Amino acid sequence: MKNKAFDHWRSGMLQIAALAMTAFFSMQALAAAEPAAAPLKVPDLKYEKYTLPNGLEVILREDHRLPLVAVDLWYHVGPVNEKVGRTGFAHLFEHMMFEGSEHVGEKAHIKYLEGVGATDINGTTDYDRTNYFETVPSNQLDLALWLESDRMGFLLETLDRAKLTNQRDVVRNELRQDEGQPYDVADEAMGHLLFPKGHPYYGNIIGSHADVEAARLLDVRDFFHRFYTPNNASIAIVGDFDAATIKDKVAKFFAPIPTGPAVEKIKVETPPITTERRVTVTDTVQLPRLTVAWLTPEAYKPGDADADMFLSILGGGKVSRLYQKLVYETQVAQSVTCNNQSKMVTSIAQCDILARPGVKLEDLEAAFDKEVEALRTEGPTQAELNRARNKLLSGLIQGLQRLGGFGGVADMMDRYNQYLHDPGYLPKDVARYEAVTTASVKQVGQTVFGKNQRVVVYCVSGKKVTDDVPRSPEDTDANVKVVPPYTPEFETAQNWRKDAPKPGPEPTLHLPTPKTFTAANGMKVYLIEEHALPVMSASLVTLAGGENNPTDKPGLAAFAARMLTEGTTTRSSTQLANDVAQIGANLGSNATMDSATMSVGALSNNTSGAMELLADAALHPAFKAEEVERIRKQRLVAILQEGDHPVLSALRVGQKAVYGEQPYGFRAVGTTASVKATTQTDLSSFWAAHYTPKDAALILAGDFTESEAKRMADKYFGGWAATGNASETHLPPAPSAPERKIVLVDKPGSPQTTLIAFGLGVPRNSPDYPAVTEMNSILGGLFSSRINMNLREKNGFTYGAFSGFMFYRGGGPSFSGAQVRTDVTGPAARELFSELNRIHTDPATPDELKLAKDNALRSLPGEFETVGNESALMSQLFVYGLPNDYFQKLPSAFEAVTPEAVAKAAQDYIHPQNLIVVAVGDRAKIQPDLEKLNLGPIEIRDESGDLVKQ
């Protein structure tokens, strides 16, 4: 029941890098001050909406903060428009739309966007709509409009059986990738209980293997003709455009596209649930999961906002009732997640509760029921409602920092327009949540969240059952005749589209240089002022990362960082969470290999309170014995859960195989043995030794002035005088280059093989960084890279292939690979190494280097779109010893990279003969083909990276 995103830009690379670097964990606990929130000042989002003669709705909003423009095109089509036996068509077209249209050319769409440094390039499908978006430099707006209009009006001219066959394979690889994730079968079972067969929300948004494979050329062409039309779409353009010319631009590119057939109004009846429905499914999981779901009021209809609040209060964060009772107090659950998915036909409320080892789902359900019934019958307190409301409203305001992409301004306006025909609905949206009362939440609980109105899914350990089907015959659609959609005269009149638009004048790059100063205690302070929105971000960054872990205590740094949000000397864990919630902030802490970070974000009217909480948590951690034991149990279970995730298993095994028993050889969470052995004294001693002002930096970004920054640093951190010195710690020694071999991790029944080759990498502060970045973009860092175009686009082996580097202070591993179909594991490995060798024998072409260089150079402004991003970038200056003007000079460094430098980067850092290939999959099916490749000896390891005796 999840929104499916075709993450076609750096999809695999970003996933691997994010997991490997341990993405920042934020404890979302946003709320208002007691007893009631102060009135929220909603920014005035001025916009203009009009409709072209062909029916396309156009939404315009100027924003000149950055030289960027977001283009977000929504088609009002999704599974809600599909027929039985023909599911997955909307999602299939999410893929087909990137394959190239008549005037743009085959496989060229993303290449154009990557070449101009576009960010947030994506397409997503939900039950009610499909959208496509990109954020481009402001001088490239014409290019974005050309690309979007050409695939709206001229996709059918290039939609042939070869492209359909290829994208059927890609989509089914995405489906297999989902099926390989834990609990996916439970999510699908939930949909089958909520809705009858034939209901558009019954199945997977992607469709089924059978339906996707059954998609035929004339079927999909007809689907496109009916729904991908200007009269069934809206386009939001937000950012740095010229108001005097924008309407002419839109008309030039979109007005010639003919109006399509009228789209019938959706008429779907959803039978109410009057008696509880339940099922038990099996999956290859370590922990059983309880899922409970209800049907709730439609999006933006009466009761929808109240249901949001009910779910948030019940299980929407660390201060929610379920978390406090099941995760914190009784510790019968590992995690709790509740959310309300607002849709057009009906909304879906879902709670997922992971049981701790040894806990029966029946007992977990009984505890869950007790909390639900208490909230239904008694209603929430005013304080609970305030917290839930502010969590949502604060998220809305902070989302306004982004022009486009998921949740950005363009996305928000298109969403409001889709459901309400009112792109400027934000103030009314805020008002409907402000109108929610404790009584209305209680009422929705009583009318919607009853036992007889719900479905229950038990997911327990066992065999995973999927519905894969064979591929269609090679001659499928071979004799199909297609009729051109337009007359020759119309085609001739549109010949002007054959030439890509020329860019406007190059915008001046104004990448920020922080204001810096050093406090009396040696702590560095970095400040980026941004006053456009009332938001702030503050991070305390220390050199207390995993590189400091003792050999016998991997995971110690991350364990210590995790404890910083679990209570101080004056606040318990719960009190800290409540205090964070009361000021509408978010507080989080974590350690990567290089550093540890504690961060807070809030609306700027709560800056003082947020800074006080940041300082208290970072400087006065309690490390209470009972909290240490609680978090220890959570981390042990998290390690167990990693075995359910093929990518995490591959990372754990690959890092250990390359680096052995040193810090770089372990995941940040550590090992079962190390977590069990870590004592309260270990944690407090590590903090005392490595959290010290002379090895720390306070990063401030957002609605601060320089005088305020100095006052905040002195007031909240001026008294910090720890004596440790993390900088004296030596970096882990670089190991010898490994001999090539294959490491197999057996995962019987897996629908895919996670295939990743690991090797030695390069430090982040290396002068080769610009050349390595551009070389990697060519190899596997971009969608249009060699590896992805080979494994995905040419051969259809995978949903996405990639390469990259984990740029630690001391190097860190390199990685390349993909999640591939089980039956093509051998061919995929062969093609992967073909590209790893070819980067040496076939130098980057001028076009490849230009695209990589332009992408690196022109995408930089988009990296500074939010105060959180700015804070993270400034942290790099401190952690890696980079000069304050580093980002100002980085564009010229990218520009200066030569073909010879790219070739040298490949020679120095891509060593196919020294890679360890990790394959997580069904050993019985993949080992024979891997042996035939002669890539080296094959050894068998378990999911912890330990050798398995044969």
pLDDT digits (tens, 9 = 90+) for 594-619: 999 999 999 888 899 999 999 999 99
**CB 204, CB 2: distance < 8 Å:** no
Residues 6+ apart with CB under 8 A from 188: 203, 204
CA atoms within 13 A on the CB side of 310: 35
Q: What angle, 0 to 180 degrees and rounded to 10, lies between the N-to-C axes of helices 304-315 and 438-448? A: 90
Q: Whose CA is closest to 603, among 681, 539, 536?
A: 536
Mean predicted lDDT score pLDDT of the chain = 91
Q: What is the spatial distance between Cα 329 and Cα 451, in angstroms, rounded to a whole number?
A: 25
**CB 426, CB 396: distance < 8 Å:** yes
Within the chain, what is the greatest distance between any pair of CA atoms? 81
**CB 782, CB 798: distance < 8 Å:** no
Chain Cα centroid distance, residue 295: 27
Q: Is the pLDDT of residue 583 over 90?
A: no
pLDDT of residue 624: 97
Q: Is the pLDDT of residue 36 over 50?
A: no
Q: What is the spatial distance between Cα 752 and Cα 197, in angstroms, rounded to a whole number?
A: 28
276 Rama class: left (phi>0) / alpha (psi -120 to 50) / beta: beta
Q: Is the pLDDT of residue 5 over 60?
A: no
pLDDT of residue 40: 59
Q: Whose CA is closest to 724, among 691, 683, 681, 682?
A: 691
- What the block records as the tokens of 285 is 């999981």
Q: Is the pLDDT of residue 424 over 50?
A: yes
Torsion angles phi and psi, residue 174, rounded to 5:
-65, -40
CA atoms within 13 A on the CB side of 291: 28
> Could you read off the pLDDT of 435-474 as tens digits, one per residue?
999 999 999 999 999 999 999 999 999 988 888 888 889 8
SS3 content of the chain, % helix, strand, coil (to 5): 45, 20, 35
Q: Whose CA is closest to 818, among 839, 840, 841, 795?
A: 795
Question: Percent of the chain at pLDDT above 70?
Answer: 95
The pLDDT of 20-31, averaged and rounded, is: 32
Q: How far is CA 582 from CA 28, 386, 625, 689, 901, in A?
A: 12, 8, 26, 32, 53
Q: How far is CA 354 from CA 105, 365, 369, in A?
A: 47, 11, 15
Residues 6+ apart with CB under 8 A from 861: 66, 67, 68, 117, 137, 507, 509, 511
Q: Whose CA is closest to 820, among 213, 170, 214?
A: 170
pLDDT of residue 11: 38
Q: Whose CA is closest to 786, among 910, 665, 884, 876?
A: 910
pLDDT of residue 170: 85
Written as one letter, the residue type at 827 is: P
Q: What is the spatial distance between Cα 447 and Cα 452, in angstroms, rounded to a whole number?
A: 11
Q: Whose CA is closest to 345, among 56, 123, 131, 82?
A: 82
Full 3-state SS string of 37-63: CCCCCCCCCCCEEEECCCCCEEEEEEC
CA atoms within 13 A on the CB side of 546: 28
Q: What is the spatial distance between Cα 132 and Cα 90, in angstroms, rounded to a whole number?
A: 12
The pLDDT of 680-694, averaged and rounded, is: 96
pLDDT of residue 25: 29
Could you tell me which residues are beta bridge partners of residue 454? 294
Could you tell me which residues are beta bridge partners of residue 603? 535
Fill in the DSSP letter of residue 487. Answer: -
For 9-18, 166-175, 410-419, 492-501, which range has the lowest pLDDT when averaged over its residues?
Answer: 9-18
The DSSP result for 630-646, as a single string, is: HHHHHHHHHHHHHTT-H
Full 3-state SS string of 348-410: EEEEEEEECCCCCHHHHHHHHHHHHHHHHHHCCCHHHHHHHHHHHHHHHHHHCCCCCCCCCHH
Q: Is the pLDDT of residue 137 over 80?
A: yes
Strand blocks (E) in 159-230: none
For 213-217, 281-285, 723-727, 898-902, which range has the lowest pLDDT when averaged over its residues?
Answer: 723-727
Q: Whose CA is closest to 583, among 6, 950, 37, 7?
A: 37
Q: What is the spatial distance between Cα 236 and Cα 70, in angstroms, rounded to a whole number?
A: 8
Sign of the CA dihedral running 226, 227, 232, 234: negative
Q: Whose CA is closest to 102, among 477, 482, 502, 495?
A: 495
Q: Whose CA is closest to 413, among 237, 240, 228, 152?
A: 237
Q: Whose CA is closest to 855, among 778, 761, 765, 763?
A: 778
Fill in the DSSP letter of residue 79. Answer: G
Residues 6+ apart with CB under 8 A from 32: 38, 386, 387, 389, 390, 582, 584
> Could you read off the pLDDT of 783-825 as tens digits, one per residue?
999 999 999 989 999 999 999 999 999 999 999 999 999 999 9
Could you tell me which residues are beta bridge partners of residue 938? 742
pLDDT of residue 729: 55
Q: What is the spatial distance between Cα 51 and Cα 317, in angstroms, rounded to a whole number?
A: 41
> Could you read off the pLDDT of 610-657 as tens digits, one per residue?
999 999 999 999 999 999 999 999 999 999 999 889 999 999 999 999
For 37-46, 143-152, 238-247, 393-402, which range has the lowest pLDDT when averaged over its residues?
Answer: 37-46
Strand blocks (E) in 4-118: 4-6, 26-29, 48-51, 57-62, 68-75
| Beta strands 798-805; 696-702: pairing state | unpaired
Q: Is the pLDDT of residue 35 over 50?
A: no
Q: What is the spatial distance between Cα 822 and Cα 928, in angstroms, rounded to a whole number?
A: 12
pLDDT of residue 334: 96
Fill in the DSSP letter of residue 941. Answer: B
Residue at token pair 């050093």: 518
Provide the terminal-to-terminal Cα distance of the chain, rounded to the nearest Å: 41
Torsion angles phi and psi, residue 579, rounded to 5:
-65, -40
Q: What is the spatial distance between Cα 948 and Cα 826, in angstroms, rounded to a whole number?
A: 22
Q: What is the spatial distance between Cα 195 and Cα 496, in angstroms, rounded to a whole number?
A: 49
Q: How far is CA 722 from CA 90, 522, 561, in A?
A: 58, 11, 16
> Could you read off the pLDDT of 713-743 as tens digits, one per residue?
999 999 998 666 555 556 888 889 999 999 9
Element (H, E) at 589: strand 585-591
Residue 108 CB coordination number (10 Å): 18
Q: Is the pLDDT of residue 309 over 80?
A: yes
pLDDT of residue 18: 41
The pLDDT of 254-279, averaged and rounded, is: 96
Sign of the CA dihedral running 136, 137, 138, 142: negative
